[in-house]
A = this chain, B = another copy of it.
Amino acid sequence: MAISLRKARTIIRKALEKGRELDLKPLSVVVLDAGGHVQAFEREDGASPGRFQIAHGKAHGAVMFGAPSSVIGEIAKERPHFGAALSGVYGGQIVPVPGGVLIKDKKGAIIGAVGVTGDTSENDAAAALAGIEAAGLVGVV
């Protein structure tokens, strides 16, 4: 199953709504498909200009390695040489802190990832998860 643009829009809107609800700083949200390619992205007014790259790196690492960015962050902390290698093989397009959340369908297949940046990494991840669940999908934080 692919993520339709309609689903991607829902994920982004609901993630941003969650941010407003929790009074977070301006968020940026990207949705990647199962191949790690950009489906949709929005950056809220007031966010710094370089937020696409961070949101993308969180979600891209998650899809490519098959684990949420929080797990990649644990790897990077415990085995820095492996974290550095992942950055190398993925051309630097990996951000190993929470906020890159895998999207699974009801059968458990990974169909993409959401990357959120702007507030604390934990709040970013919470907003991503809220968006995914509002779209009727399963998030792996």
Residue numbers of A with Cβ under 8 A of B are: 2, 4-5, 8-9, 33-45, 47-50, 52-54, 56-57, 63-67, 73, 76-77, 79-97, 110
Contacts and interface: CB of A to CB of B under 8 A. Distances in A.
A34 to B, nearest CB: 6
Contact of A33 (B35, B83, B85): B35
> Majority SS of interface residues in chain A?
mixed
B83 A84 contact: yes
A80 B65 CA distance: 20
A34 B76 CA distance: 29
A50 B52 CA distance: 16
Contacts of A35: 33-37, 49
